[in-house]
Structure 1
């Protein structure tokens, strides 16, 4: 991928392009089933029964919105242990993991001790990067789709990073925590409500942090808006919007990019928002969700599913395996999230039609609003006469991370590096992470719930209170204070 494409490419390329045997078997067996698919059989080994996301009845999933009994103490406000060197193991070394390893190697005080991918060439390439950076050769795990379990069993790893196909995220996060490791996972962290609850329960029981590594929260614009919002420049907050609107048709039909159809096959299974995190995470931070407010319900509607079939008709030869697929995913999903304080968040998802890239990223309050793509602002008393103002004039509100790292390395405009740097800093210094398992579960919950809402003709779906009532208490989050120690 060229630099321009990488700059605009959200972390859907964050999942390993390689397709494990487990993932291949599961997608082959179930991928064409369409609306009747149940997602209980992911090989997770869990005792809980999963609600079929393709079911016409939302009753089963709604029952899961009730808070299960807490199995351990809350992880709200729990700091990392603190250590001079953070020892990292990486699982999944495709498009995302293969590039993110460069950033872990670029952060002081981080040692990559193990890498894992069933494609040996990718693992060997990653290991070569480690030694080229002057670190000892890492352990390499390439013995099939379950070898990540051996990586997680190691006694010399503090943090496991997961960048694999989506249906493997839950099991890998679970395994890491059960073996005493903090874990960070690319989007989405899981795909079902019962899986989200299980990750919450495991984090509390094992005392390990389980985090959705939402890089867009660390974008320069997002962090500037966050600080301005918390300083009251937008007044009382009323509404926000976020999206993942990105034309991925060419990549989803490119066999070399994903090394298999796993990404495209999700469009044969669900109708809702497959990838809400990039849009939801930043707006949730602006509004302090789980820190004084919370997401209460979601209502979703979806357009017909036409884009992928039309693209296939124009570009794929007769006999291509994609002709066996039936797409049900809405080309454009629009969701409205209501918060406990009555605020409204609009989420959009569209990866199947031609359009410019946009995460929308807007925030409005009683004193004005910000809108991105392109970035512009209109707040009182700075602006008047219906004329947008220059957002570039507000650099004084940049987060301290962006003031310290004006030209960060890596893709996506530097937000990837900011994410890795800050997370590793929190681990080294023994700080509370900027976001936690409750945020991960909240930001991902629109995946199953938007599907159920669309199936129920737009009926609202209740978003669980993953914090079990602790959302009522204000606490720090992404708008973190600069630590006294570097």
Structure 2
């Protein structure tokens, strides 16, 4: 597609910011044809931004839970970008593909096993692409680590990894408006790792998951719940969750995943306690180890850290900087969004459709990574019993395939006027 025509569904905190990255693709790579949100004021605010900052003038849809369907039913939209609350992600992605558009959906792409299969089956039936917009896979540290792993710095075999989402978000969970209570409602109703893909996505690329290996089974455990109960006690009496104590989700969930080749992945989910932000980003191989926050690297017994001022660390940082960041890093940082990772992700989606190459992440990854949510819940509810992962690829995971982000000959200078 010389020109990627897109629609955007969901204009909250995330969607409104991402819209600016999509706008930066205009006119060389694509254009925004329409935007949509349940709330008219969100659409108005986004249109105010367009009027002040952009040459584009998209059509607008709003006012009902089904307004997105009108956008998806247009015949002039190639890709629908989905930034709604996560309970609607799979529903909208499936509808978009059924109407003839590709789908690019925020994380997680699905929250039930049925929704995971709906995404896979619909993509196969319609032959439409479905990418989960896992931005952490494009962050500078994660792509640097990926490049080191693929270039053999960690040795011939990776053995285990640890990822997570440690982010105290209690102040963001309680609002009076119904649409803003979705996070609290999610934790009230569901156990398990409710937001696994930020930590898991990069690990799956390090370890070639679905490219010669697969996640075989998961064992999960959660801690007691305290923080939501404490926060609910201070809510006004007319609030939906005032005084609520029966929260399904514990303060922290820990999951251990074993792969078909016997590798281990540990995930943590904690958005409640007062821990500093962390995604862990740990990776171990026969010759090296890395942990993040702050970034520290051990190679052949030599321990070097980002904050130590060690020349050895800088040498690895420079030598193994991922080619995408080497070529486009300055432009990504200029556009911003989680240090430039958001913009680089958007660029890669548009670039894939422009060039007709495979997307960096596919629907099978969207399903497998998202499946941690319901599978961890099942494990916890059955006394931390092992639970098998569905075979979303129907056996094709055994085929070794190189990541698109590691095919350096496809990388060109992405300068945009």
TM-score by length of 1: 0.79
* TM-aligned CA deviation for residue 124 of structure 1: 2.3
Structure 1 residues 86 and 302, CA, compared in 2 at 3 Å: closer, same or farther?
same
Structure 1 residue corresponding to 2:323, chosen from 394, 400, 408: 400
* TM-aligned CA deviation for residue 131 of structure 1: 4.5
Matches within 5 A, 1:400-439: 400-407=323-330, 408=332, 409-439=335-365
Q: Distance in 2 between matches of 1:114 and 1:393?
A: 46
* TM-aligned CA deviation for residue 392 of structure 1: 3.7
Q: Which residue of 1 aligns with 2:270?
A: 350
Indicate conservation of the 8 Å contact 2:229/2:243, yes or no.
Answer: no
Q: Distance in 2 between matches of 1:259 and 1:194?
A: 24
Structure 2 residue corresponding to 1:373, chosen from 275, 293, 303: 293
1:447 aligns with 2:367: no
Indicate conservation of the 8 Å contact 2:9/2:68, yes or no.
Answer: yes
Structure 2 residue corresponding to 1:263, chosen from 150, 159, 183: 183
Indicate conservation of the 8 Å contact 2:136/2:341, yes or no.
Answer: yes
Q: Distance in 2 between matches of 1:260 and 1:406?
A: 34
Structure 1 residues 207 and 333, CA, compared in 2 at 3 Å: closer, same or farther?
same
Q: Which residue of 2 aligns with 1:247?
A: 168
Q: Which residue of 2 aligns with 1:233?
A: 153
* TM-aligned CA deviation for residue 429 of structure 1: 0.9
1:323 aligns with 2:242: yes
Matches within 5 A, 1:120-135: 120-135=40-55
Structure 1 residues 319 and 153, CA, compared in 2 at 3 Å: closer, same or farther?
closer
2:172 aligned counterpart, secondary structure:
helix
Indicate conservation of the 8 Å contact 1:434/1:480, yes or no.
Answer: no
Unaligned ranges ≥5, structure 1: 1-82
Indicate conservation of the 8 Å contact 1:105/1:133, yes or no.
Answer: no
Q: Which residue of 2 aligns with 1:479?
A: 406
Per-residue CA deviations over 1:354-392 (Å, capped at 9, x if unaligned) read 1100011110011020100110100116559xx997644
Q: Distance in 2 between matches of 1:290 and 1:307?
A: 37
Structure 1 residue corresponding to 2:254, chosen from 334, 345, 349: 334
* TM-aligned CA deviation for residue 129 of structure 1: 3.2
Unaligned ranges ≥5, structure 2: none
Q: Distance in 1 between matches of 2:412 and 2:346?
A: 17
Q: Which residue of 2 aligns with 1:464?
A: 390
Q: Distance in 1 between matches of 2:137 and 2:269?
A: 17
Indicate conservation of the 8 Å contact 2:165/2:269, yes or no.
Answer: yes
Q: Distance in 1 between matches of 2:411 and 2:151?
A: 22
1:359 aligned counterpart, secondary structure:
coil
* TM-aligned CA deviation for residue 312 of structure 1: 2.8
Q: What is the number of equivalent residue pairs in this alignment?
A: 400
Structure 1 residues 428 and 342, CA, compared in 2 at 3 Å: closer, same or farther?
same
Q: Distance in 2 between matches of 1:391 and 1:298?
A: 34
* TM-aligned CA deviation for residue 211 of structure 1: 1.2
Structure 1 residue corresponding to 2:10, chosen from 89, 92, 98: 92
Structure 2 residue corresponding to 1:105, chosen from 23, 27, 39: 23
Q: Distance in 2 between matches of 1:372 and 1:260?
A: 32
2:346 aligned counterpart, secondary structure:
helix
Indicate conservation of the 8 Å contact 1:173/1:184, yes or no.
Answer: yes
1:347 aligned counterpart, secondary structure:
strand
Q: Which residue of 1 aligns with 2:101?
A: 181
Structure 1 residues 460 and 399, CA, compared in 2 at 3 Å: closer, same or farther?
same
